[in-house]
Amino acid sequence: MTAAFVGAFAVTKSKRRRLLWCAWWTGAPTREPFRAPDGWSGGARSEDDARTQAERAAGKPLREIESAWAGAWVRQMAGLPPWIVREEREPRAPRTAGRAATPDDPFAILGLRIGAPMADVKRAFRALALVHHPDKGGATAHFVRLKRAYEAIVANAEKRAAATAAPPRGARAKRAAAKAARARE
């Protein structure tokens, strides 16, 4: 014997950071086919406010259900399928781990694995520079190749560091950035 449906409501955040509620009081929400709510509205400022509005529309007390139901209604109104179906994908390996080093790869030139820490890069370059420097009897072309590989790795690390750094904020930071730009000119 099944119990009578009491009524339910779900709440989700809207794009404007308000709360949107959906309520079902004439029947339970169904996933397939998706059953549209009996009533819905947006603009509630708190979950209690959303509950009050939903219960006022239903004319009876409602129990809260997962917010995914309200999100499904938002997607349905936008013309999208109500439920997001995620395909199973094989996990990807990190970019540097599975990549084979080519002879022109800066890490391979220095005899390191791809993605080695900067301390290892610096240590390897210094050791190879002592052996292959023209003043120590090494070939100029080989030393230049080592130096270019080292500079490429350092430049790439600096770009990554600059990309992840937070931009300066405030008037003082803007003045300092402008001053640094003038100094570079």
| pLDDT values of the chain reduced to their tens digit, one per residue, 185 residues | 456 778 999 999 887 788 999 999 998 899 889 899 999 998 888 999 999 999 999 999 999 999 999 999 998 988 888 988 777 777 665 555 445 556 688 999 999 988 889 999 999 999 999 888 988 888 889 999 999 999 999 998 888 887 777 665 677 777 787 888 888 76
**Cβ-contact 109, 120 below 8 angstroms:** no
Give the pair of three-digit tokens for residue 1: 């014997």
Burial 137-174 (b: 16+ CB within 10 A, else e): ebeeeebebbbebbeebeeeeeeeeeeeeeeeeeeeee
Q: Based on the structure, what is the number of domains in the chain?
A: 2
CATH number, residue 140? 1.10.287.110
| Residues 165 and 112 both lie in one domain | yes
Amino acid letter for position 146 = L
Q: Which domain holds residue 68?
A: 8-77
| Residues 158 and 118 both lie in one domain | yes
